[in-house]
Amino acid sequence: MRFCLSVYMTILKARMGARTTQVDLGRALTGLLTEEWDHHYDDAAISDLVKGKKNIGKTEVEAARALDCQCLSGRFCKEVVPLLDPNRQADACIGLRRAIASDDALRESTQVDLVSGMTKGDIVAAAEIVLPDFLSGLFLYAVTAVDNKGTEDDAQRSGDDPARGRMAGCAADVGPSLA
Per residue in 118-149, pLDDT (tens digit) is 999 999 999 889 999 999 999 999 998 877 66
User: Cβ(9)–Cβ(154) under 8 Å?
Assistant: no
Per residue in 44-59, pLDDT (tens digit) is 888 888 888 888 888 8
Quick check: helix, strand or coil at residue 1? coil
Residues linked to residue 84 through DSSP beta bridges, in sequence order: 16
**H-run or E-run covering 72:** helix 69-79
User: Cβ(11)–Cβ(92) under 8 Å?
Assistant: yes
Question: What is the rounded CA–CA span in Å between residue 35 and residue 58?
Answer: 15
* pLDDT beneath 70, residues of the chain: 35-41, 148-179
Domain layout of the chain by residue ranges: 5-177
Question: What is the rounded CA–CA span in Å between residue 177 and residue 21?
Answer: 24
